[in-house]
Structure 1
Amino acid sequence: MAELKSDNLLEMMKFHLGTDAGKELTKKIGLVYQLNIAPK
C-alpha cells in the first residue's frame, strides 16, 4: 500500500488532538472538519 501525502498530516492531527491543548481546542471550536481526498 502506497503512503499518501495526507498520512503525515493526519498523524500530526491525531497527536495534537490527544494533547491537553488539542482537547481545549476541541471544546472551544466544536471541532468539525472535513477532508476531501481526490486523485490529481
Structure 2
Amino acid sequence: ARLIGMLRLERNMDIATMAALFDGSRFAPEPLTEAEQAALS
C-alpha cells in the first residue's frame, strides 16, 4: 500500500500507468485489486 501511495503522490502516476507496471508478470507485482483502484480514484 505504501508503494502504491508513493507512486500516486510523489510521482503523480495515474491508474492506467500503475496497472501497466503491476501486471503480475515475472518480477512485477500482482495486478491492482478493485479496492486498490477505487482508493486511487
- TM bin, normalised by shorter chain, reads 0.3 to 0.5
Relative contact order: is structure 1 or structure 2 higher (C-alpha 8 Å, sep ≥ 6)? 2
Q: Of the two, which has the highest radius of gyration?
A: 1
Q: TM-score, normalised by structure 1?
A: 0.33
TM-score w.r.t. structure 2 length?
A: 0.32
